[in-house]
Structure 1
């Protein structure tokens, strides 16, 4: 493995990951509108068409975390990319909402399969002494996609049609698929003992127990952050800040882009506590500022704090997971971690939607600000860096 962080493999898989996530966010932001307007779905049905994607993603992470090293990283990422391409093209052939449910489920599975494999593959291109920095740079591809994808999706929705958007997305995935077949991917060599342990249908063959705590924290952080993803537009409309609210995620992305490399270096030099505690504090502050927002500048300040909070946590939580396990368990460990994050983001809108009916938006954001504080307390009580596995990854 090269000692230089920005080697060809690292750059290639980071760009591929950016495209995979870009298409995910691009379609996620428009699919409910398409279901409602073109397939005459009710708002509840349209919401389910959006959310069933997450079910497919979770299934893929659970299954592929186990199978990744058994089948080989090369096969899984290539098969996943092809399946992602085919199921994206399938959006061109949707006669009814029930067919859309099926395609969304399969497309979510393909996305989960590809992204899970990419998350494991990139670790082989990162020098051991730069794990934190490398994962944070790699994580930028996800954060930028989360900001750029919805922006492109909404622009294309207002200026073109759904068929054009699907074709555009398919071309992007085709390019990433070609790139996946072009880069060198090395499979992990498993011992007979490791193969047997992965083949067993046991809890440990699907879930990495060493990653469960960080995954649980990820669930709570995702739950808290989902209040922003799901309700910011409605909240901005309520407080008459719709025009400036479109820049919220731009500020979020800019802050993450500027700070992630630094947080990665701090992680490597000082340890995870020096970045994890600030991430809890900044997310709580950001949500409190959001709850108190009365003008556009304050709203953007909230976006900056939330970027420092959730954006920092997401990558560094992944870096912690890499420290906890040996190489043959990386796939399962990363799958466990991202299942926690995805569940939080998926469950959040339903749970917090019911809570909003009782409290209103400002009080809802105050409640959500308490969750990162709880995460900090749990982290202080139960996470012990000294228990990190020191086996060579």
Structure 2
């Protein structure tokens, strides 16, 4: 599952807590599998698009509000047609985008950009994941753009202090969890680990988890075989992510992925009570403050990544302070707080006994 699918499932589960106050009727448009460079126009996709539009047309009459959640390409294509149907039916229509909608919009050619801007201007609301996207889009589409951050189902807070994983002088255990592809920084991480194995006095080991995208498989197999202090652990089930992360000293996530918004794995690291070494890329500094609940490096810099790992390995007091702050920061991304706020922005106040 990718981050958007996980977030939407959490949204549905959280809305279900309100019983009869808000009822969901979901039309599933998710692809069966994630591909690195998927083909957009295929017969299978056209058949699926026709099915989605038919279902949407039949069900919209019973809805009070329509919420379209999807990729930027989906919002521009099928999502725009759903918007048109909603407007013809005189139903409020909202879009929810994850990731980098502002950059996607700027990179469109003239005609698609005009179509997308026209749709955004006539929506009842556009929800983006980060303040960065909100600030970049507001000059174009106005105040209806609202930042609703990424979120996860946070456990009850029992303590602000994580467990003592980082004994002085002990091995430093790192973890990488993401799709295994170049843009997520996995090859930068492997190069940094090889450098540490050659030059660093103490043992640093990193376990890597996540599905390997086909375009990266051959290179990844070759590089991890030559990296003695890295191990591939396969794909984790979503229910096992937090408890697995909690076994490590820190998350390493040197992403430079163009579509990055609020990466779910950073919130999951907060849930596990471990700090993150990640990049000052796009809106990531909204989640991780350098030197407070993690360390930030420049995207693509192996040298800075090596130095950041050395820093937390040599200063275990700092490591513990970062971990405590990471655990506290999770409250900002609690679905129990974010989802009700989101519903209110759609003028669906819970406790009214209606809403569909």
TM-score, length of structure 2 as denominator length: 0.24
Higher relative contact order (CA 8 A, sep 6+): 1
Q: Normalized per residue, which structure has more strand?
A: 2
